[in-house]
Amino acid sequence: MHKDAMIYVAGHKGLVGSAILRKLQDEGYSNLIYRSSSELDLRNYDQVMDFFQSHSIEYVFLAAAKVGGIIANQEYPADFIRDNLLIQTNVIDAAYRANVQKLLFLGSTCIYPKLAPQPLKEEYLLTGELEPTNEPYAVAKIAGITMCRSYNRQYGTRFISAMPTNMYGPNDNFDLKTSHVLPALIRKFHEAKENGVPSVEVWGTGSPKREFLHSDDLAEACLFLMNHYEGNDIVNIGVGNDISIKELAELIQSIVGYKGEIVFNSSVPDGTPRKLVDVTKINALGWKASIPLEEGLRSVYASFQEGYLVNH
């Protein structure tokens, strides 16, 4: 991408989109376009088409999505499949019709079968049953991958798809009902410390293992792929190692400085037992994650404290 290319970042206020926007600005890309959901409803095809037709957009980072943790996925399955299908269908089709040069579609590693071998290789897609708790979201993302591939085959577009592992970073969602595990734990331990609560409940048994990628690493990987990768095959983005939820809870407890007890609530579902991605492909292309988990957690906790102080 040349530095003055018109680049649209869809979902620029979210964890991933805001990191991509920061990375592009840091790298000197000056012609960036973005809209909040109140300014442009990506679920509305006419609005999306008008937006693309009235701006000479050359590149698209499609990071807009409805996302959430286990509880949100269980309570709002219809919202997750409907909103994500609408967002990606509208943006991908409008990008094709507006002759966008290249689009990067961001999926998720929850597209892989629940019991797929570890680490998860790109070719495991569609080889088994999905994790039931996030199936609606996963099916929508798989549809997005298939849509990009299909447009490439039929129309000769350059639409690529990347599958990031579990994300964390500044601008994360710290709402305890809808957040993912890492930001939820940061908030739980912080509030327990502030309020002198003797114990913190962690959902599940603590045994599942998860991989965590800092959003700044993901943004760097997305820019790398946009500039260096072509093809119909999906590409995993991850760090290549994982940690149990129990170990994660203990690490966050230590960083926050909480002295109480951790209690695991095994009545809450664990979800997939393990979800480590194989990063051989992206490493071979020339990109590797660089932010260690503890360092990333310390920076995220610091930014959480700043935001928390403003809101409380």
Residues 149-188 pLDDT 10s: 999 999 999 999 999 999 999 888 888 877 788 999 999 9
Q: What is the mean pLDDT of residues 127-135?
A: 92
Count other C-beta atoms under 10 Å from residue 128's C-beta.
12
Residue 88: name the closest of 68, 105, 67, 109 by CA: 105
pLDDT of residue 129: 95
* Residues 6+ away with beta carbon under 8 Å from 20: 9, 12, 61, 63, 218, 219, 222, 223
Which one of 8, 34, 59, 137 is the catalytic residue? Answer: 137
* pLDDT higher than 80, residue 69: no
Given CA atoms 203, 302, 253, 259 in this order, what sign does their dihedral have? negative
Binding residues for substrate: 188, 203, 210, 270
Confidence of residue 45 (pLDDT cuts 50, 70, 90): very high
How wide is the angle at C-alpha 173 spanned by C-alphas 179 and 13, nearest 5°?
140
Known binding-site positions: 11-17, 106-109, 141, 180, 188, 203, 210, 270
Q: Look at residues 168, 141, 252, 248 and name the one whose alpha carbon lies nearest to residue 204.
A: 248
- What's the rounded mean pLDDT across residues 211-233? 98
Q: Is the pLDDT of residue 73 over 90?
A: no
Average pLDDT taken over every residue of the chain: 95
Tell me, yes or no, if 308 is annotated catalytic: no
pLDDT exceeding 70 applies to what percent of the chain?
A: 99
Work out the average pLDDT over 298-312. Answer: 85
Amino acid 312: pLDDT: 66
pLDDT at 54: 97
Catalogue all structural domains in the chain, each as residue range(s) with its CATH number.
7-171+212-240+276-291 (3.40.50.720)
